[in-house]
């Protein structure tokens, strides 16, 4: 909110330099974000509706600098023709409030004989400094008093009100009104309006209508000063897509005691500056007679702030804030009656903050907590630590962590081959680029690879840990680990190692070895994004934990990636279900192994895993490690076949094996492979 120093000085003496004053206000909770040609820009937090005015800010300056504030008058306003009745016509007008909850107070002053013209230069300058355009003396005065008191006002042309009547009521469904912004709108019964005998003439607390607008020929006006319910105004303003100086203040809550004062002040200015005369004042409803009482326990204050506050000083500070304070007990229990304009002070904690801020947050010495040790009440941060070690593990395997958007576009889905209709959407997206929640880490990683490739970075090895959303599983949001590879895994002057399926699989196996108690097994399985024959379902102990494979050409192409991309995604919760517990260590074997290589030729239809399984099965208890060390196709291996070479180790933990035992086992394997796969020795 803009506050010209020159205007503030009308209510409070300011001796500090602008910068020092700004500093003081900032440290008192009214942050001054800039000072421009003697105009402060003050950030008013939503709780401080009382500071949405010059008087409010002046009051804060007075409190912060130990000054007194001087309020403008409202003098010389006659109270002629006081009327309260809803039926009797006073001064040529009837005012009726049909919804007292939405409008607890309504003050209407009839001013006759006004002359519409420009407002004086001093007023225009103040309005301009606050960012408001001067219009004419009547409108300017209502705006001026709004800025001065924080009380929104409105002036109706009494001669344009049908039936000389103002009714505060709910709108009828579809009732039309053209507001001062020139836009015609249809109203709903949730909206509170000010109506004349025929139709709405203003939307209460939001904006007036053109039909009763003050014009150059206006002679008689009704000046409205009212209190409207914050929620009602807020809903209405939102529904109409309007945010006005008036609605902003009503939503935050105005000072109920200020309704009459502001009306008086505006009437006084109108009499002075446009030559009119108040002929009637109609008041419906009144401000609450009693204000809240809050009990403040100074002992509790000390405990909460962690410092000693002298009860006498606490009392004085509250008094500076215009609270009425009475002490009980030994002066350590205070009964506090906050002023009507401080609607934010409703309980003891609010007063704690007031006292803390008057002491000065910077004057409260910092301490370190005196805690009693306690056991962690949850898992001691274990689940986070597990995620974090997974991230570190991926980085140690050579992958770079990516953080991609949780919100995607329909195009991201289609490009990635995911159906859009299954997506969980935002009800109120900021843009269609980020409107759908991600069901997988695939899209985000693919977009990252796409961006890198388009910028000439053609090699990438990325991972991301993050949650995904599936409409069927909500509110659960499973955590996933995504991996994506493209281009070269490694490249220098000695060697170039392109990424491929087996690089990806190797990374996944290494991950599983480090994290899980059991091995990761891959079985071929199609995926929507995957090239047929190049995708696998990953299992641990028979349970699916993820998928991996080569991204289908058409999908990479749709992302302008004309090179191979591999992707894998693991369900972290499922992976961790199989996590390793503490390792039981074995001493290294004492007796040497017998090493034999086994080279067989098999048909291309025979999967490595089945050969491997047959070796393990027939090798018997003395077969230790069996490792594939070569796979070869080409001459002299016949077409349609390939050779596999395994390095086998036979061993017994308790003795050295005899050659005969090893030969027998080895022979069994050779025979089994011959029988099951028609394998021949190479």
Partner 1 sequence: MSDALDAVRKAFAADLAGAADTVTVEALRVKYLGRKSELTAAMKDFGVLSADQRGAAFKQANELKAFIEARLSQRLTELAVAPARAALDVTLPGAAVVQGRLHPITQTLDAILSLFLPLGFEIVEGPEAEYERYNFDGLNIPREHPSRENFDTFFLDVPSPEPALGRLLLRSHTSPVQVRVMEQRQPPLRILVPGRVFRPDPLDPSHSFMFHQVEGLMLDDRTSFADLKGVLQQFLHALFGAGTKTRFRPHFFPFTEPSAEVDIACASCQGAGCSTCGHKGWLEILGCGMVHPNVLKGVGYDPDKVQGFAFGMGVERIAMLRHGIKDIRLLFENDLRFLSQF
Enumerate residues 254-313 that contact partner 1 by CB under 8 A: 300, 303-307
Secondary structure element (H or E) that encloses residue 350, with its range: helix 348-359
Joined together, the tokens standing for residue 292 give 């809240």
CB of 234 or CB of 505, closer to partner 1: 234
Q: Least distance (Å) from partner 1 to the CB of residue 575? A: 17
Place of tokens 């086992």: 665
**Shortest distance in whole angstroms from residue 222 CB to partner 1:** 29
- Least CB distance from residue 500 to partner 1, whole Å? 14
Closest by CA position to 148, among listed 174, 121, 130: 130
User: Residue 64 CB, nearest distance to partner 1 (Å)?
Assistant: 11
CA angle 131, 134, 136 (to 5 degrees): 160
CB 93 within 8 A of CB 283: no
Q: How far is the CB of 591 from partner 1 (least distance, A)?
A: 30
- Site residues for partner 1, 564-623, by CB under 8 A, read none
- The reply on whether position 251 binds partner 1 by CB under 8 A is yes
Say which DSSP state 179 is in: B
- Beta carbon nearer to partner 1, 488 or 518: 488
Three-point CA angle 247, 251, 256, nearest 5°: 100
Lookup result for tokens 């509790």: 300
Q: Do residues 32 and 40 make contact, with C-beta atoms less than 8 angstroms apart?
A: yes
Residue from 183, 312, 328, 474 binding partner 1 (CB under 8 A): 474
Question: Exactly one of 174, 378, 588, 640 binds partner 1 (CB under 8 A); which one?
Answer: 378
State in angstroms the smallest separation of the CB of 453 from partner 1. 10
| Per-residue x/- track, 428-467, partner 1 (CB under 8 A) | xxxx--x--x----------x--xx--x-x--xxxx--xx
Nearer to partner 1 (CB atom), residue 286 or residue 434: 434
Rounded to a whole number, what is the distance in angstroms from the first to the last CA of the chain?
Answer: 88
Query: Interface with partner 1 includes 628 (CB under 8 A)?
Result: no
CA gap 10, 30 in Å, rounded: 20
Three-state DSSP at 515 gives helix
Give the residue with the Cβ less far from partner 1, 161 or 571: 571
330 makes contact with partner 1 (CB under 8 A):
no
Binding mask 384-413 for partner 1 (x = CB under 8 A): xx-xx--xx-xxxxxxxxxxxxxx------
Site for partner 1 in 22-41 (CB under 8 A): 26-29, 31, 33-34
Question: Which residue in 6, 99, 350, 500 binds partner 1 (CB under 8 A)?
Answer: 350
Site for partner 1 in 180-239 (CB under 8 A): 230-231, 234-235
Tell me which residues in 502-561 interact with partner 1 (CB under 8 A).
none
User: CA angle, 540 as apex, 539 and 542 as ends, to 5°?
Assistant: 70
Q: Which x/- pattern, by CB under 8 A, does the window 41-80 give for partner 1?
A: ----xxxx--------------------------------
| 139/481 with CB nearer partner 1 | 481
* Least gap, CB of 462 to partner 1 (angstroms): 7
**Closest by Cα among 582, 565, 573 to 543:** 573
Output the six-digit token pair for 158.
């009494």
Closest separation between CB of residue 203 and partner 1, Å? 17
Spatial CA neighbour of 54 closest among 44, 67, 46: 44
CA distance 567 to 547: 8
Would you mind telling me the total number of residues written for the chain in this entry? 682
Taking contact as CB under 8 A, which single stretch among the options 50-58, 105-113, 490-498, 631-639 is the one that binds partner 1? 490-498
DSSP three-state, residue 292: coil
From residue 377, alpha-carbon distances to 186, 281, 380, 385 in Å are 56, 64, 7, 16
């Amino acid at each position: 909110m803009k506050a010209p120093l020159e205007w503030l000085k009308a209510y409070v003496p300011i001796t500090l330099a602008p910068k020092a004053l700004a500093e003081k206000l900032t440290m008192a909770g009214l942050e001054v974000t800039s000072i421009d040609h003697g105009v402060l820009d003050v950030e008013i937090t939503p709780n401080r509706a009382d500071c949405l005015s010059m008087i409010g800010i002046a009051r804060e300056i007075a409190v912060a600098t130990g000054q007194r504030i001087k309020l403008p008058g409202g003098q010389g306003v006659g109270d002629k023709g006081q009327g309260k009745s809803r039926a009797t016509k006073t001064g040529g007008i009837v005012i009726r409030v049909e919804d007292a909850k939405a409008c607890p107070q309504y003050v209407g002053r009839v001013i006759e004989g006004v002359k519409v013209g420009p407002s004086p230069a001093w007023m225009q300058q103040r309005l301009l400094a606050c960012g408001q355009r001067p219009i004419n003396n009547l409108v300017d005065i209502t705006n001026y008093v709004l800025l001065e008191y924080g009380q929104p006002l409105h002036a109706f042309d009494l001669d344009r009100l049908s039936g000389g009547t103002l009714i505060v009521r709910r709108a009828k469904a579809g009732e039309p009104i053209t507001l001062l912004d020139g836009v015609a709108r249809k109203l709903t019964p949730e909206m509170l309006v000010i109506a004349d005998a025929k139709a709405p003439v203003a939307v209460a607390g939001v904006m007036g209508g053109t039909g009763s607008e003050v014009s150059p020929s206006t002679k008689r006006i009704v000046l409205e000063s009212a209190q409207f319910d914050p929620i009602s105004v807020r809903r209405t303003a939102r529904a109409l897509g309007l945010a006005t100086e008036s609605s902003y203040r009503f939503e935050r809550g105005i000072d109920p005691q200020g309704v009459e004062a502001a009306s008086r002040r505006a009437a006084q200015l109108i009499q002075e500056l446009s030559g009119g005369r108040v002929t009637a004042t109609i008041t419906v409803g009144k401000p609450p007679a009693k204000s809240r009482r809050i009990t403040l326990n100074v002992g509790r204050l000390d405990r909460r702030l962690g410092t000693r506050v002298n009860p006498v000083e606490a009392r004085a500070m509250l008094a500076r804030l215009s609270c009425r304070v009475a002490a009980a007990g030994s002066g350590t229990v205070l009964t506090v009656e906050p002023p009507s304009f401080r609607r934010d002070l409703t309980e003891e904690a609010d007063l704690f903050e007031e006292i803390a801020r008057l002491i000065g947050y910077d004057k409260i010495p910092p301490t370190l907590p005196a805690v009693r040790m306690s056991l962690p009440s949850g898992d001691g941060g274990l689940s986070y630590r597990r995620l974090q070690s997974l991230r570190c593990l991926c980085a140690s395997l050579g992958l770079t962590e990516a953080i991609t958007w949780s919100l995607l576009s329909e195009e991201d889905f289609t490009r990635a081959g995911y159906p859009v209709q299954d997506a969980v959407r935002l009800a109120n997206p900021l843009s269609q680029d980020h409107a759908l929640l991600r069901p997988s880490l695939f899209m985000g990683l693919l977009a990252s690879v796409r961006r890198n490739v388009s910028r000439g970075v053609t090699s990438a090895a990325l991972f991301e840990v993050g949650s995904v959303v599936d409409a069927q599983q909500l509110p659960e949001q499973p955590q996933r680990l995504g991996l994506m590879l493209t281009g070269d895994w490694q490249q220098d002057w000695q060697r170039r190692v392109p990424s491929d399926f087996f690089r990806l699989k190797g990374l996944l196996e290494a991950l599983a070895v480090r994290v899980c108690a059991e091995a990761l097994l891959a079985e071929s399985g199609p995926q929507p994004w995957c090239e047929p024959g190049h995708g696998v379902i990953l299992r641990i102990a028979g349970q699916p934990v993820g998928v991996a494979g080569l991204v289908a050409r058409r999908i990479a192409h749709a992302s302008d990636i004309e090179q191979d991309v591999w992707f894998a995604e693991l369900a972290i919760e499922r992976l961790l279900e199989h996590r390793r517990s503490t390792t039981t260590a074995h001493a290294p074997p004492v007796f040497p192994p017998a090493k034999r290589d086994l080279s067989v030729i098999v048909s291309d239809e025979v999967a490595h895993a089945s050969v491997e399984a047959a070796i393990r099965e027939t090798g018997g208890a003395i077969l230790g490690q069996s490792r594939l060390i070569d796979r070869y196709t080409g001459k002299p291996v016949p077409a349609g076949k390939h050779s596999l070479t395994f390095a086998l180790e036979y061993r017994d933990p308790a003795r050295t094996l005899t050659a005969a035992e090893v030969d027998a086992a080895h022979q069994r394997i050779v025979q089994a492979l011959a029988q099951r796969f028609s394998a021949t020795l190479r």
